[in-house]
Amino acid sequence: MKDVLLQHYMYVNLAVILIAAVTGLLTLHKFKQSPVSYFIYFLLYVFITHVLGSYARILNYFNSYHIIENTVFRFNFWWFTLTWYIGSAMFFAWYYKKLLKNNFLKNILQYALYVFLAVSIGSIALNFQHFFDGTFKLIRIGNMSIIMLSAVFYIYELLHTEKILEFYKDIHFYISGILLIWLLLTIPLVHFVCGNAATDPNQAELKWLIMLYANIFMYLSFSLALILLKPNNDQAY
């Protein structure tokens, strides 16, 4: 089972993202007057960018890999740095700013995003070649920090309002909880326990299994939340 999952990692990962995106599109009608519609569009964005990020495999399938073989684009690190690590952080900061009512928390999130973007641009500018050969640890940590900050702020604000009495009806409570569980699964194991994954095959195997299981959990949980829950009446935009 483990070997099958690792061998077909890309396809399994794409499949669970597709399930979440399609579920979102099928339930879009009930969220069309809610900020959740933006989250659904984001899931579709994630699927599209992951498909496009597989350009090397696609070119290889059509015997056209030679087009990029001797170029900086032979690896897709640059693509996922832009579309996931930077792109997802920008989305969640913007999305949760729409949800938060507390201006102080919104400002902290906004300034945190500015710092993250400055660090990201600086990291890429100072080591531009690495932009194509690998990912930046600072950008990865920044991405996870922005997502965690967004989710934590929402739950913190929820705990200090009367909405906490009906938290089980709040889809954003579940989205935030799912994100935090995903982060708690991936941050310590992938970035610390598997710190030598680049040189140790056993750690590399463990790293990708953890990421795959975490992604399966996250995207299938998003799908269930979209199916089972309804938009909050006070979250129309």
Residues 35-94 have pLDDT tens digits of 999 999 999 999 999 999 999 999 998 999 999 999 999 999 999 999 999 999 999 999
CA pair distance 211, 197, nearest whole angstrom: 13
Half-sphere exposure for 204 (CA within 13 Å, toward CB):
8
pLDDT band at 188 (very low <50, low <70, confident <90, very high): confident
User: Residue 196's pLDDT is what?
Assistant: 60
CA 233 to chain centre: 27
Average pLDDT of the residues of the chain: 91
CA pair distance 217, 211, nearest whole angstrom: 10
Q: Is the pTM of this model over 0.85?
A: yes
Nearby residues of 164 by Cβ (< 8 Å), 6 or more positions away: 158
Nearby residues of 194 by Cβ (< 8 Å), 6 or more positions away: 203, 204, 206, 207, 210
Nearest-CA neighbor of 147 among 104, 100, 94? 94
Is the pLDDT at 122 greater than 90? The verdict is yes
